[in-house]
Structure 1
Amino acid sequence: MDSSGILRGLLCAGLLIALCRGQASQEVSAEDFGVEKPDAAADKDLLEALEAVLGRMHSRVSSTEKRGIPMCGMGDKCAMKFGPRIGRLCDCGRGGSCNSYLLKCI
């Protein structure tokens, strides 16, 4: 009986040790890889480049509004049925499409 009690104790202790090791922090910081923080000048250069890219993208996105088709959100009514034809009310945003059965953006 004593050997089975000792075996159970060792088994429980091993299980506790295994569970405690699983609780260790898995966070990795930049210091671990020896990466230095960029200085303010590099941040400013990156910010200017990002503003330039966003300015070009804005001109492309607003081209749908220039055509006279407004944008509508998800779940909004995007078309109307006129007999056998379907007329567009608005254009669904990026990643969405107008469902021809429900006539809503999904």
Structure 2
Amino acid sequence: MESMRAVVYLSVCLTVMASVCQGQRSSENQQLSEPALGLTTNELAEALQGLLDEADSNVGLSVEKKASVIPRCDVGERCAMKHGPRIGRLCDCLRGTACNTFFLRCY
């Protein structure tokens, strides 16, 4: 009985949310048809490209150079290196594969 009541409440909430979102979507479509600040689409795209180029030049470290991120390795590649009794990880194997500790490769 309670599960049926929860389903009814959930369906009513989803219906109300959908109608509210539909109303916002129609008002957004009217706003998008007007040019923003009198700029054309090409001018906006060029301004955005300029901002992205400046942001790329300001970023000094790439994702691959960060110490906390381990790169991915494919099946059959070396994923670890043995240092005496310890095994050091070189890369992280793809989903569905694991690093074999005997061969030190992804399988």
TM-score, L = length of structure 1: 0.37
- Greater C-alpha radius of gyration: 1
Bigger proportion of residues as helix: 2
